[in-house]
């Protein structure tokens, strides 16, 4: 089938009810289970508030992140959470907003390295097939014996029974993403020769045994669904045998729905496809969902994977690809997406632009989930406790810099009721985002800039672009509060020019330079972020011959694999060559390479005609210091304060604005 093409957002299907088992769903948008690093180990107030907020925003079902059915193999242990009343608390909070609450049950098998309650000594699987944790360290699991297999089947049933004694509405069995059940289903990870392996039927036995034991224990007390994979990568052919396995499970009569996703946590590429960034197409698993829908017309099919907005969800469901969609990052970016769409305000939904830095990159590092552009995500409990000062009068607020930090600061100051003016010396807003959006696979950044401008216009923020700001400007505006968000200042290697017979540019300069004849370009990176990879792709797409040199251990070392692997793969396909652990510096009257390990000096490769450098930037805080010394009430936020990332920048803009307090209707001027 052809890919779905978006049309005008008319929602004839998305907000119609859906019957799943004995439950009546109010719409077709599901908040899928996903890791948060909130808790950790239990549903504390931070996680309860986070999940409840997605229900408040209009999702029909809120599914927990994976909860372990066996002790010591995951972040949350089902029996402890049920015994301690955590599921009852969660269900009460979710159901209060009209949504249903599901618990995702899982045994990760050889992927049990995830989470603080992991078992570090031995990992178990169907067979002793090695894996790389997140694509890194190699671990060899131990093949489960008969008694251990029986125990895990019983653990699933015991966990389901424990959940059935709570207020929770359903369970989702995690049979995908490379977890234990998929390790039994797949011939790549199951090479057993007993009754649990060998034939297709034998490899299916474990999954069926779990389903049969659960139904025998709880009957129809809970809705029972399964999260599955049909494909290992969106660019690969559908895995015919795995499809046959899932169809057989769907025809067993033991499932109330199937949720289709992809990827795994056992390899770098598996993680990248499990958590696809903006370089992957929207609804990348739609063909897998359509395959199941054709073969299992009686069973509700849910689709995961970059269903980026309500209009796409409507198109997919109306076309018969699936019956419902699941969203995770989209509801991190804006939990009110369902409600806004239903009320006809889709254009006010804060878009998810798939950059990963606030969500998955933090979770992979064991940090609480946030969002690059939603400064409250993962902090819902904190937001609920926020106490604004009483009787605040409206202030004249001047924000300098229309990058992410400044845009968020201006938006929130206006929402607090203050009179806001936003300046930027550039002719258009967005800061770095406005430059980067022209890079291949980063065009989605335009959506977030456009969203900010719509919100600022609605909030009556005065927008003054193409104007530099001085102390006289602040005085003329009558600024009572000033927020400086002037971003970072690129470190520029122009001092190398005497030793290089060609042009030297920073990343920003290279992105703004008109395309010229094909040339030999060397991109040099000392930072390890996205800037160097992005400019290399930008130049390679223009037909330049690009070589990538970095002083770090590998290209994009500061990025997680979901962003780095797709980027370096695209560059390799464009013919870009990589050289790591080499720095560039003047040596013996010319610019040369130095091997970071041996110290040896080498000539630059391929006699480049242009050199583009991505060096570590510095904060652009000159105006802040001047305003501070002049006596203005001024705050410094974002990269102007210290170069970091988008998540930190927008958060600081938000906090700066919130510090002014909410304007009281009795304290207006």
Distance CA 623, CA 632 (A): 11
CATH of the domain at 434: 3.40.50.720
* CA nearest to 280, candidates 442, 451, 136: 442
Beta pairing, strands 131-132 & 503-506: unpaired
CATH code for the domain in which residue 555 is found: 3.50.50.60
Residues 532 and 454 in one domain: no
CATH number for the domain including 255?
Answer: 3.20.20.70
Long-range contacts of 42-46 (CB under 8 A, 24+ apart): 42/76, 42/80, 42/81, 42/84, 42/86, 43/76, 43/81, 43/86, 43/87, 43/89, 43/90, 45/381, 46/368, 46/378, 46/379, 46/380, 46/381, 46/382
Residues 214 and 120 in one domain: yes
Distance CA 425, CA 416 (A): 25
- With respect to residue 562, please indicate whether it lies within any of the assigned structural domains: yes
Residue where a domain terminates, one of 363, 382, 401: 382
Rounded CA gap, 272 and 264, in Å? 8
**Among all chains, which residue has been given the structure tokens 């008969």?**
146
Do 183 and 319 belong together in one domain? yes
Does residue 638 sit in the same domain as residue 585?
no
Question: What are the structure tokens assigned to 238, written together?
Answer: 């559908």
Query: How crowded is residue 490: how many other Cβ atoms within 10 Å of its Cβ?
Result: 20
Residue 166 sits in the same domain as residue 40: yes
Same domain, 240 and 92: yes
Determine the structural domain holding residue 454 and report its residue range: 388-489+619-658
Same domain for 318 and 186: yes
355 and 407 share one domain: no
**Same domain? 378 vs 499:** no
What torsion do the CA atoms of 92, 314, 370, 347 make, to the nearest 10 degrees? -110
3-state secondary structure 455-491: HHHHCCCEEEECCCCCHHHHHHHCCCEEEECCCEECC
Does residue 560 contact residue 649 with C-beta atoms inside 8 Å?
no
Sheet holding 419-424, edge to edge: 462-465, 419-424, 396-400, 481-484, 634-636
Residues 406 and 534 in one domain: no
Measure the CA dihedral 109/114/116/117, to 10°.
-10
Tell me, what's the pLDDT at 112? 81
Q: Name residue, tokens 């819902």.
A: 380
Helix (H, G, I), strand (E, B) or coil at 602: strand
Q: At what angle do helices 646-658 and 404-415 cross, to 10 degrees?
A: 30
Question: In whole angstroms, what is the distance from residue 176 CA to residue 108 CA?
Answer: 10
Q: Which regions of the chain are under pLDDT 50?
A: 1-8, 115-119, 233-235, 237-238, 666-669
Please report whether residue 350 resides in a domain: yes
C-alpha torsion angle, residues 351, 352, 354, 357 (rounded to 10): 120
Whether 41 and 64 map to the same domain: the answer is yes
Compute the radius of gyration of the chain from its Cα atoms: 27
Are residues 309 and 339 both part of a single domain? Answer: yes
Give the C-alpha distances (Å, rounded to integers) separating 182 from 230, 263, 567, 586. 10, 11, 28, 54
Domain count, the chain: 3
């Amino acid at each position: 089938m052809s890919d779905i093409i978006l049309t005008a957002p008319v929602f004839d299907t998305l907000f119609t009810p859906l019957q799943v088992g004995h439950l009546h769903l109010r719409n077709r948008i599901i908040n899928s289970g996903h890791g948060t690093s909130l808790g950790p180990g239990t549903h504390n107030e931070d996680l309860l508030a986070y999940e409840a907020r997605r229900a408040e925003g209009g999702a029909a079902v809120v599914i927990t992140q994976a909860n372990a059915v066996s002790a010591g193999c995951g972040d949350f242990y089902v029996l402890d959470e049920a015994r301690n009343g955590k599921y009852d608390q969660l269900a009460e909070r979710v159901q209060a907003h009209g949504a249903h609450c599901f618990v995702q049950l899982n045994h990760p098998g050889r992927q049990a390295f995830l989470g603080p309650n992991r078992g570090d000594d031995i990992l178990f699987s169907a067979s002793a097939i090695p894996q790389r944790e997140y694509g890194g360290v190699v671990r060899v699991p131990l093949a489960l014996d008969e008694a251990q297999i029986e125990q895990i089947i019983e653990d699933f049933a015991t966990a389901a029974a424990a959940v059935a004694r709570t207020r929770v509405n359903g369970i989702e069995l995690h049979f995908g993403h490379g977890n234990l059940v998929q390790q039994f289903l797949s011939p790549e990870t199951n090479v057993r020769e007993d009754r649990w392996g060998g034939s297709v039927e034998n490899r299916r036995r474990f999954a069926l045994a779990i389903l049969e034991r659960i139904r025998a224990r709880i009957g129809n007390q809970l809705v029972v669904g399964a999260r599955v994979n049909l494909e290992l990568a969106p660019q690969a052919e559908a895995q015919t045998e795995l499809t046959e396995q899932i169809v057989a499970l769907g025809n067993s009569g033991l499932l109330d729905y199937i949720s289709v996703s992809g990827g795994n946590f056992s390899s770098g590429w598996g993680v990248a496809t499990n958590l696809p960034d903006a370089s992957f197409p929207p609804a990348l698993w739609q063909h897998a969902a359509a395959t199941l829908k054709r073969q299992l017309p009686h069973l509700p099919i849910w689709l995961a994977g970059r269903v980026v907005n309500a209009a796409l969800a409507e198109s997919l469901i109306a076309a018969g690809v699936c019956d419902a969609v699941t969203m995770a990052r989209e509801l991190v970016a804006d939990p009110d997406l369902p409600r806004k769409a239903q009320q006809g305000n889709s254009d006010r939904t804060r878009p998810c632009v798939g950059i990963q830095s606030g969500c998955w990159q933090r979770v992979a590092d064991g940090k609480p989930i946030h969002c690059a552009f939603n400064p409250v995500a993962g902090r819902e409990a904190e937001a609920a406790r926020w106490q604004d000062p009483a009787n605040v009068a409206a202030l004249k607020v001047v924000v300098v810099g229309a990058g992410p930090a400044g845009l968020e600061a201006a938006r929130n100051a206006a929402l607090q009721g203050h009179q806001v003016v936003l300046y930027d010396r550039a002719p258009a807003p967005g800061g770095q985002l406005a430059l980067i959006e022209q890079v291949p696979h980063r065009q989605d950044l335009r959506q977030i800039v456009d969203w900010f401008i719509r919100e600022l216009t609605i909030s009556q923020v005065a927008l003054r672009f193409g104007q530099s700001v001085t102390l006289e400007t602040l005085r003329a505006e009558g600024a009572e509060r000033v927020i400086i968000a002037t971003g970072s200042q690129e470190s520029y290697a122009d001092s190398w020019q005497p030793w290089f017979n060609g042009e030297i540019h920073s990343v920003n300069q290279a992105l703004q330079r008109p395309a010229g004849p094909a040339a030999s370009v060397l991109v040099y990176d000392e930072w390890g972020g996205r800037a160097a990879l992005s400019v290399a792709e930008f130049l390679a797409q223009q037909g330049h011959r690009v070589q990538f040199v970095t002083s770090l251990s590998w290209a994009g070392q500061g990025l997680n694999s979901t962003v780095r692997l797709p980027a370096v793969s695209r560059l390799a396909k464009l013919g870009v060559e990589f050289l790591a652990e080499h720095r560039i510096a003047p040596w013996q009257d010319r610019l040369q390479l130095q091997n970071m390990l041996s110290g040896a000096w080498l000539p630059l490769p391929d006699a480049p005609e242009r050199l583009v450098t991505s060096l570590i930037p510095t904060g652009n805080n000159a105006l802040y210091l001047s305003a501070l010394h002049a006596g203005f009430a001024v705050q410094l936020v974002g990269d102007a304060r210290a170069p970091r990332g988008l998540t930190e920048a927008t958060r600081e803009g938000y906090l700066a604005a919130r510090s002014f307090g909410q304007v009281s209707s009795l304290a207006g001027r």
